[in-house]
């Protein structure tokens, strides 16, 4: 078989809809879009619009808030660290963010790396992360290791703050 002899299986493709080819085609005049108005045009989205009635997202009560200062951590479980050690991707001595990224356990650092306690740990480790759950700390210490929490990095001042500080 050659590349120029390849064909789709019968029924795998359909003929394209020919729009606007006369009233007898079934897709003439309005081309299957109904009548005039906003929905007949392209590039229009009217999600959430309810014909002038108060939309659902405004009728429902709102609760709580989302903090603008929240942290988005990359997460690693102790069980995955043990699996990486068993596979030879990590050395069982000092484990930090760079080592976890090198082993492929963390893709991006984001606002830091947080250690969680799911799984079993057998190796004695010295772990250095931005955060850890109580169960993760207990699991590492039970195996004879230690967890060091890196102090939170303060946000860097923006250009406006630097200008204000320079003016003082």
pLDDT at 158 (0 to 100): 65
pLDDT number for residue 157: 65
Token pair 């020919």 is at which residue? Answer: 18
Q: Is the dihedral of CA 63, 64, 70, 73 positive or negative?
A: negative
**Within a domain: 47:** no
Does residue 105 belong to any structural domain of this protein? yes
Range of the domain at 86: 74-149
162 within some domain? no
Q: What is the per-residue pLDDT for 35?
A: 85
Model pLDDT, residue 155: 63
**How many Å separate Cα 139 from the centre of its chain?**
28
Output b/e per residue, 8-30; b: 16+ Cβ within 10 A.
Answer: eeeeeeeeeeeeeeeeeeeeeee
Structure tokens at 160: 């406006």
CB 84 within 8 A of CB 105: yes
In a domain, 66, yes or no: no
Query: What pLDDT shows up at residue 109?
Result: 85
- Mean pLDDT of each 10-residue bin along the chain, 168 residues long: 94 92 91 87 83 91 89 94 94 91 92 94 94 96 94 69 74
CATH number of domain containing 121: 3.100.10.10
Total structural domains in the chain?
1
Residue 108 lies in a domain: yes
Q: Tell whether 56 is covered by a domain.
A: no
State both tokens at 153.
């990095």
pLDDT number for residue 115: 96
The pTM for the full model equals: 0.58
The whole-number pLDDT of residue 69 equals: 83
In a domain, 48, yes or no: no
Residue 69 covered by a domain: no
């Amino acid at each position: 078989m050659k590349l120029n002899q390849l064909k789709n299986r019968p029924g795998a493709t359909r003929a394209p809809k020919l729009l606007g080819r006369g009233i007898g085609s079934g897709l003439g005049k309005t081309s299957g879009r109904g009548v005039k108005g906003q929905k007949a045009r392209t590039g229009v989205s009217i999600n959430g619009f309810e014909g002038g009635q108060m939309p659902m997202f405004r009728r429902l009560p709102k609760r709580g808030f989302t903090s603008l200062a929240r942290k988005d951590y990359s997460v690693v479980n102790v069980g995955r660290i043990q699996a990486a050690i068993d596979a030879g991707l990590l050395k069982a001595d000092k484990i930090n963010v760079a080592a976890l990224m090198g082993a492929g356990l963390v893709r991006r650092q984001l606002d830091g790396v947080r250690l969680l306690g799911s799984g079993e740990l057998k190796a004695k480790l010295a772990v250095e992360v931005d955060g850890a759950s109580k169960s993760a700390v207990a699991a590492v210490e039970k195996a004879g290791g230690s967890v060091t929490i890196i102090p939170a990095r303060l946000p860097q001042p923006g250009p406006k703050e630097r200008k204000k500080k320079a003016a003082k």
